[in-house]
Amino acid sequence: MYKKILIVSSATIVLLWGLINIPAITRIDSAIDAWLYTLNTPSLNSFFIFITTLFNKEYFLIWLLLLLGVLLWKRRIVYASFLFLGVFVGQSVKTVMKDFIERARPANPFNIDINGSSFPSGHATTSTFVMLFILLLAVPLLPRKWQLPTQILGIALLILVPLSRMWLHVHYLTDVLAGTALGVATFAGVKVLFTYLIRVLHNVKLAKLPPLLKYIDKKR
Q: How far apart are CA 138 and CA 218, in angstroms?
A: 18
Query: Tens of pLDDT along 86-109?
Result: 999 999 999 999 989 888 888 877
* Predicted local confidence at residue 4, as pLDDT: 92
Q: How far apart are CA 26 and CA 174, in angstroms?
A: 9
Q: Element (H or E) spanning 53, and its range?
A: helix 42-53
Model confidence at 176, pLDDT cuts 50, 70, 90, reads very high
| Cβ neighbours, 10 Å, residue 105 | 16
* Predicted local confidence at residue 203, as pLDDT: 62
Domain spans in the chain, listed from the N-terminal domain onward: 2-219
Model confidence at 15, pLDDT cuts 50, 70, 90, reads very high
- How does 163-180 read in b/e, with b if 16+ C-beta sit within 10 Å? bbbbbbbbbbbbbbbbbb
Whole-prediction pTM: 0.85
Q: How far apart are CA 59 and CA 61, in angstroms?
A: 5
> How many alpha carbons fall within 13 Å on the CB side of residue 11?
6
Sign of CA dihedral 169, 172, 173, 178: negative
Please state which of the ranges 103-112, 138-147, 152-161 shows the lowest mean pLDDT.
103-112
Q: For 214, list phi and psi in degrees, rounded to 5.
A: -60, -45
Is the pLDDT at 204 greater than 60, yes or no?
no
